[in-house]
Chains A and B, each alone.
Chain A
Amino acid sequence: MSHHNLRTVVGFEVRRTITRKRFWIATLIVPLVVAVVFGLIYISNSSTNRSLAAQKHATFTFAYTDASGLVLGPVVKKFGGERAPSVAQGIADVKSGRLDAFFAYPADPTRRAVRVYGSDVGIFNNGKYASVATEILQLSADVKIASPTLALLARGAVKVDSTTFKDGVRSPGLNGLIPPLIYLLIFYVVLVMLGNQMLNSTLEEKENRVTEMILTTVNPNTLITGKILSLFIAGVVQMMVFISPIIIAYLFFRSTLNLPNLDLSALVFNAERMLIGALLLLGGFTLFTGTLVAIGAVMPTAKEAGAFFGVMMALIFIPFYAVSLIVSHPGALIVQVFTYFPYTAPITGMIRNAFGSLSIVESLVLVVELYAFGYVVIRLAIQLFRYGSIEYTRKVSIRTALGWGTSRPRS
């Protein structure tokens, strides 16, 4: 009966969650916004690149002075420029409109800026003067180097393939860092997207006055467990929706969209870190869900619960303020506090786990702590729901609900 009811609750909750417009608006808005932003960036970059390329070869009348002796006449000639008798004359010619631009190359262009003067042709088109001035200097330098390869190297076109070793074994580097960090991403996305639903999952029974009907029909443990499972399933659906456009784009439109050819086979999945990451993710999810459900059970309306929701969301972002410290000095006091304080522990733990600074012992302590707290908080949430949801219009006294007062619901 218990399993039957758990399946029924999960089925009902999942169905009604994923058939709501609000859910799909919230779910689709993220990939949609990301797609729009990426689209805009792509269009903007393409436009900028085209513009820069065009500007490099823009033709306009200009003159220059060269205190460095690096600028070569033939190069300047290709661009249609001429040497100016002096800086003052060059500037005066621009001002008078005889020339479109004037470039004053300093004695040491690596230390001092090349001064560019030009007639104003609009904020975007004005960039062509600097582009041509730079191109002339770079091409002149290339000619002096007299080797295309050396010229490219001088421009920093260097490819590096690093290999590092730890305990005599090749360490995975970034490829080993990414997989466990995926748990962190999942944790954030699920909590940010579903947090409000977690909060409302018990508020709905209260606001709709369903509590008595439901509490006499199904065990509250089954109900709350079912709600938490359904939230997790809804989170998985959201993740699939988020990921699917990326996968589709990568598999079918990679060349069209000019996406980099990711070599996923290079990713290293360290079994120990992946397992610890998964446990921290589930433990953190349990703790935060239980807490949000408990808040929902205590508060009479969604509006009043909203203030506490903000605090909970802030807690998951706090460790990010110390992320550099977490990565570089995991032994620091503040990092230790973040590691073991239950509501910052999942994030800090997952970051440290990904960077390999969480020892096995620390991992075990953290996992046990998260599950223990999660269990206590869920029990508390169930207790508060049993009592709190009956108090339809007022905030529940936690003292009374937990039996510290004179009467409480059955345990």
Chain B
Amino acid sequence: MTSMSHSTLPASRCRSTRPNEAIRRLCNSRTMDPSAANASSEPVVHIENFKMVFDNRVVIDGLSFDIKQGETFGFLGSNGSGKTTTIRALLGIYQPTAGILQIDGRVFKPEDGKRLGYLPEERGLYKKESVIDVMVYFGRLKGLSHETAREWSLSFLERVDLADQSRVRLDKLSSGQQQKVQLGVTIMNDPELLILDEPTKGFDPVNRRLLMGIIEDQKRVGATVMMVTHQMDEVERLCDRVILLKNGRSEAYGTINEVQDLYGGTTIRIRYSGSIPDSAHFAVSLRERNYAELKFTDGADAALILKELVDAGVQVREFTTSKLSLDEIFLKVYGQEHRSDVAP
């Protein structure tokens, strides 16, 4: 992947997320074509044969996956499956027992200048300091000048209806307001890589919508997003690819379609009268009175199967295709895990 310097961010990133003119000025020289960035073959995140052992207990074993430039990646798994451990190892907080964990082709170090936005699962800020002081502090640590960090922070606070709270101590804010500030700190300085560990945890529906809007904005302007969440509807809406982690191992990895195909593929549901013929293009997985579910075989498509049914004299009153939702797949994968957990 071509590592992006501060002066070569995609121009499109400068359109929707800049809260004000001051921030906009920063983007004037950023002219990289986002499609060119996406075409890059080098992954932003590369994890290969990652193994983690805590107190002689294998927590992660042989985990490998890549996250490409500009994609939104869902990092899924039940509680305790090793998601947060993987993120902490990727960000240098834990030393991996074995394996390669790289961002932009090298082990992450905060001082390397990679613009990272990280929203950890365990959240908090300096509670006895004022909102603006904390935001400016993190902005400065992320390479912004004092003035720019301050202007950016005030604009963000205005956007999230906290403009009048800028001088208030963080511990005087409500939990939801603190979450908003934390989110602001996360996306300061236009992160090239956004890592969000259960970003909607503890958010009320209003803040959740705000957060999703910000993630969509970041995605639209070319940021790479790695997201841990249990909200499968969000994953289906936002993510290009996902990995399902189970007991520290990859259970499924690919685009959402690929994962859906892995767990049952496309199902055709028909209401009919007549007799369904045998066919090489589908198999009947469920047959009830005037209702059946058909599974595709390789090379078949819905139109071909419909034609075959009609040609065989079946009167098709309703014909729908559907795939298992990620929610269903999640239940399928981790439901077994929970059942085995409680099994004697």
Chain A residues in contact with chain B, CB under 8 A?
1-2, 4-5, 8-9, 12, 15-16, 20, 204, 208-213, 215-219, 222, 386, 390, 392, 400, 403, 405-411
Whether A2 pairs with B111 at a CB distance below 8 angstroms is yes
B176 at the interface (CB under 8 A from A): no
Whether A410 pairs with B120 at a CB distance below 8 angstroms is no
- Per the 8 Å Cβ criterion, residues 132-153 of B in contact with A are 133, 137-138, 140-143
Whether A216 pairs with B110 at a CB distance below 8 angstroms is yes
Complex: A216 Cα to B142 Cα, angstroms: 10
Complex: A371 Cα to B113 Cα, angstroms: 32
Q: Please name all residues of chain B whose beta carbon is closer than 8 Å to the beta carbon of A208 when the two chains form the complex.
A: 124-127
Complex: A215 Cα to B110 Cα, angstroms: 8
- Per the 8 Å Cβ criterion, residues 57-105 of B in contact with A are 88, 91-97
Q: Please name all residues of chain A whose beta carbon is closer than 8 Å to the beta carbon of B56 when the two chains form the complex.
A: 406
We find that the number of chain B residues with CB closer than 8 angstroms to chain A is 39
Q: Name the distance in Å between A5's Cβ and chain B's nearest Cβ.
A: 6
Complex: A334 Cα to B107 Cα, angstroms: 50
29 pairs, A vs B, C-beta closer than 8 Å: A1-B113, A4-B140, A4-B143, A8-B141, A12-B137, A16-B126, A16-B133, A208-B125, A208-B127, A213-B118, A213-B120, A213-B125, A213-B138, A216-B91, A216-B116, A217-B138, A217-B141, A219-B111, A222-B111, A390-B93, A407-B52, A407-B94, A407-B96, A407-B97, A409-B93, A409-B95, A410-B93, A410-B94, A410-B107
Whether A210 pairs with B124 at a CB distance below 8 angstroms is yes
B55 at the interface (CB under 8 A from A): yes
Whether B93 pairs with A216 at a CB distance below 8 angstroms is yes
Whether A219 contacts B110 in the complex (CB less than 8 A), given A390-B93, A407-B94, comes out as yes
Whether B53 pairs with A406 at a CB distance below 8 angstroms is yes
Complex: A218 Cα to B93 Cα, angstroms: 12
B185 and chain A: residue at smallest CB distance: A213
Complex: A75 Cα to B81 Cα, angstroms: 102
Other contacts beyond A400-B55, A407-B94: 18, CB < 8 A: A4-B140, A8-B141, A12-B140, A208-B125, A208-B126, A212-B88, A215-B91, A215-B93, A217-B116, A217-B141, A217-B142, A218-B141, A219-B110, A406-B53, A407-B53, A407-B96, A408-B94, A409-B93
Whether B110 pairs with A411 at a CB distance below 8 angstroms is no
Complex: A19 Cα to B128 Cα, angstroms: 11
Complex: A16 Cα to B129 Cα, angstroms: 7
Complex: A407 Cα to B86 Cα, angstroms: 13
Complex: A204 Cα to B111 Cα, angstroms: 22
